[in-house]
Structure 1
Amino acid sequence: MKTTLEELQAFAAIVDRGSATAAAAELGQTVSGISRALGRLEEKLATTLLNRTTRRMELTEEGQLFLARARTILASVEDAEEQLALRRQQPAGRLRVNAATPFMLHVIVPLVAKFRERYPLIELELNTDELFIDLLEQRTDVAIRIGALKDSSLHARFLGTSGLRLLASPDYLARHGAPTTAADLDNHILLGFSQPDSLNHWPISDANGNPKYVKPAIAVSSGETLRQLALEGCGILCLSDFMTRQDIAAGRLVQVLAAQTLPVRQTVNAVYYRNTQLAARIACFLDFVAEHSGW
């Protein structure tokens, strides 16, 4: 049968306003359009809902029964629309966020308390992975990715950039000395990534003028593990500022080869699938991170 909301609205408006003309004025439609909608409805129901004369319209018994149901349906739709409007004003629902462990620990986690204070109806689910994930498979609403994006099936929202620095602990430098040239790094204990290997290209020029590729003496898969190794005085590493700015400020890590370091910055993007409408809870979360992350 497939009765439409337009037909229900036309029927209810005619009854409430007493004529197709008044109903058309209320709904912003033409009189002929309202009359056709009522005619289609009666044809689908195979019954007469309104007895029409030149002077007035009167509900049939079937019309009275159907009007009560029609009003219930229209009220439900209006209520649903109102609830969605309220959610846009006060975002709510579960929000599944995925990020690499370092970004989660150093950027997201410090913002959670303030975010929940502002948006108490959003239920956060925070998950970590060191490598890129399939958003659908992992049931993720939005993922934070650092570096170049290659997946064209994703929407991306730029959140900011984070610089790269070569760092070591004061204890390590006291024991091994500080390098003064890029070539000196070959005589030091270098900390790097087991995967992806591209992260072992450091922002300092080699003899050929290219970003220096290092072979780590200690290779790990997690940036947070690297940070902890550096804090323990295990060697020199290259990490993003979002992970180390507090360590630098506190003197726990010291920048090495600062003058020779190239001005390389990693892009930080939030990604979600192209066929996903950006829900209010996602939008407000990304706005909050961009506003408070202190790039």
Structure 2
Amino acid sequence: MPTLNTGRIILAPMEGVVDASVRHLITQFGGVDQCVTEFIRITDQVLPRHVFTRFAPELLTSARTSHGVPVAVQLLGSNPETLAGNAAKAAALGSPSVDLNFGCPSKTVNKHRGGAVLLDEPQVIHDIISAVRAAVPKATPVTAKMRLGNKDKSLALENALAIQEAGASEVVIHARTKVEGYKPPAHWEWIARLKEHLTISVVANGEIWTPDDYQRCREISGCADVMIGRGLIARPELAMMIKAINNGNQSESAQWQSIINMLLQYFTMVESQMMPRYVHGRIKQWLKMMRSQREEADGLFEEIKQIKDLNELRRHLESKQE
């Protein structure tokens, strides 16, 4: 297989899933070039430092995970002035770039004029990015994540151009509308259409679960750079598998034993951060998201799904260690 130019792989922000603990554990497998935080909701004020460090404790360690991967802060909102003020705060705290969310499909978020609903208002998107670009140092990149639209794709190009013309240096395009949610397929061909009109960096996002998916996405979208969310949760070594293929090497899955060890690490992290009644849910959530990609995960999930006692759950996971 010919060696490909190795593009970047970015771990996607996923609300309620990809927190600092998950970023730490996934980046330990290698292959991930950048992470983005869960969105910080911005309303009418500049938030205090502790809010930023709660979402991005990596700001306390040069904005990198313990494995040296940069972590960018993502903001969500609709008020250009307050978003600009918070972007300046994020940059001052050390975020290597500031990302703006125009892709979240949550009904609650959209109801309050955040996320994908703003794709109906390209001028607002332009105003937000323009204000943020003016507020942060020139050396701090401003990036954005968008879907192909809210209800349909009719404003896809207008939104992409608004992001570019307002001063963003990169746009991540999730190749579905808000209405399409996360249902297959992702329309990678639409990314290619938009990319033809853009001069800024374009990153493809959506339905990348395997190295083969990456190759097809790259061929269809024309993007070497990708953002992966659920695919990296389901298979934490996916980025390294993709990089191996790009470098002309054999791509191999991680041993199930290493996944068990990761889940036990996660158990310890979550237990130190959350009230006991929430811990088992987080472990099961991650294992459940692995089921589509790992037969062992499917079996283990069935074994533990009714367990609520934490000591019993830990013992069951430990019993899977060799």
Whether TM-score is above 0.5 comes out as no
Q: Which has the larger radius of gyration?
A: 1
Higher percent of residues as strand: 1
TM normalised by structure 2 equals: 0.20
> With CA pairs under 8 Å and 6+ residues apart, which has the higher RCO, 1 or 2?
1
